[in-house]
């Protein structure tokens, strides 16, 4: 697995946890080098009385990125309900952070660095120093939590913000429309908490190794996303899918769950706008791919 794979999964957990003021400290404004917008990809599945829009998101963006266009606006206006991975209102953010803190706590007498070998500890401490964070800061957390935090911190410091992320923008556009979610905070946290300890350590160390390249990697992915080049985005993401276990947990199992959700929701009349991480709507084993294999037509709208 490469560091890029986490962004391929694009789990909303990162953006939700990053809303914590403690993580946002030290945030600076920076303009991402993003290509000229042609419009992120938007799809729909429809029958005679039901329409479901599928929109791939980026959970954290620089505030100056322009992506909200007429096709997206029209689809959102048409929708009865906005559906995201998890609910992203203030109450849900607080719950996510509380669940994460509870589930990530190491047993008394065990520290994060005690789980690492000497080389891993040295690399971890060097990364923490580079970010201006004291080495003991995450000693009470399991490796997955430290990995999530080190995934987001470099981006926060270089201009990316969950407050500018796609879901937050969409929520601001829908006013009082009903909102729903595909998953719960407990489920998303459980994905990470349920990984074997060695996989958690591998995830942490790849976050450590990737802190210098984090922004450049995400800039590249956002550039393809905002151009609407789903094939190029899938290719970028697939470069990182070398760990089958993590890819299955973060991407493919969830895509299968969401595909089933869509199939069942098609039985109820109405219009739904689903906004999920772009990694779930790109390439092989994406939601669209799984729908197509069930003989459900997916139409590209934008």
**C-beta separation of 297 from 71 below 8 A:** no
How many angstroms separate the CA atoms of 191 and 104, rounded?
12
DSSP-derived pairing of the beta strands 81-84 and 270-277: parallel
Query: Could you tell me the strand order of the sheet in which 50-57 lies?
Result: 179-181, 81-84, 270-277, 50-57, 42-46, 299-300
d(CA 126, CA 105): 23
- Give, rounded to a whole angstrom, the gap between the first and last alpha carbons of the chain: 31
Which tokens go with 27?
Answer: 């945030």
| pLDDT (0 to 100) of residue 13 | 52
Radius of gyration of the CA atoms of the chain, in A: 19
Q: What is the DSSP letter of 25?
A: T
The structural domain count of the chain equals 1
Check whether 242 has a pLDDT greater than 90.
no
Mean pLDDT of 256-285: 94
The mean pLDDT of 148-160, rounded to a whole number, is 89
| pLDDT exceeds 50 at position 43 | yes
Its domain, for residue 47, covers: 4-300
pLDDT class of 238 with cuts at 50, 70, 90? low
230 pLDDT tier (thresholds 50, 70, 90): confident
Sign of CA dihedral 215, 13, 134, 4: negative
Task: Flag whether pLDDT at 22 surpasses 50.
Answer: no
Interior angle at CA 54, CA 268 and CA 296, nearest 5? 60
Is there a contact between 207 and 147 (Cβ–Cβ < 8 Å)? Answer: yes
């Amino acid at each position: 697995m490469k560091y890029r794979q986490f962004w391929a999964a694009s789990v909303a957990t990162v953006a939700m946890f990053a809303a914590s003021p403690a993580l946002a400290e030290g945030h600076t404004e920076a303009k991402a080098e993003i290509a000229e917008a042609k419009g992120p990809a938007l799809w729909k599945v429809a029958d005679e009385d039901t329409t479901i829009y599928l929109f791939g998101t980026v959970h954290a963006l620089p505030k100056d990125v322009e992506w909200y266009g007429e096709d997206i606006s029209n689809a959102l206006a048409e929708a009865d309900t906005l559906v995201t991975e998890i609910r992203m209102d203030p109450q849900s953010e607080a719950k996510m952070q509380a669940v994460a803190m509870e589930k990530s706590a190491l047993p008394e007498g065990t520290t994060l660095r005690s789980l690492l070998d000497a080389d891993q500890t040295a690399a971890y401490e060097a990364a923490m120093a580079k970010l201006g964070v004291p080495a003991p800061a995450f000693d009470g957390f399991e490796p997955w939590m430290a990995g999530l935090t080190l995934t987001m911190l470099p981006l926060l410091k270089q201009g990316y913000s969950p407050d500018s992320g796609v879901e937050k923008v969409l929520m601001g556009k829908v006013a009082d429309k009903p909102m729903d979610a595909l998953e719960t905070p407990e489920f998303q946290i459980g994905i990470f908490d349920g990984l074997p300890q060695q996989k958690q350590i591998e995830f942490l160390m790849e976050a450590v190794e990737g802190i210098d390249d984090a922004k450049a990697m995400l800039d590249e992915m956002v550039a393809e996303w905002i151009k609407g080049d789903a094939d190029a985005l899938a290719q970028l993401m697939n470069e990182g899918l070398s760990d089958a276990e993590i890819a299955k947990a973060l991407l493919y199992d969830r895509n299968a769950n969401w595909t089933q959700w869509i199939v069942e929701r098609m039985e109820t009349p109405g219009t739904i706008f689903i906004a999920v991480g772009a990694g779930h709507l790109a390439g092989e084993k994406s939601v669209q791919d799984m729908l197509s294999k069930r003989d459900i037509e997916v139409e590209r709208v934008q």
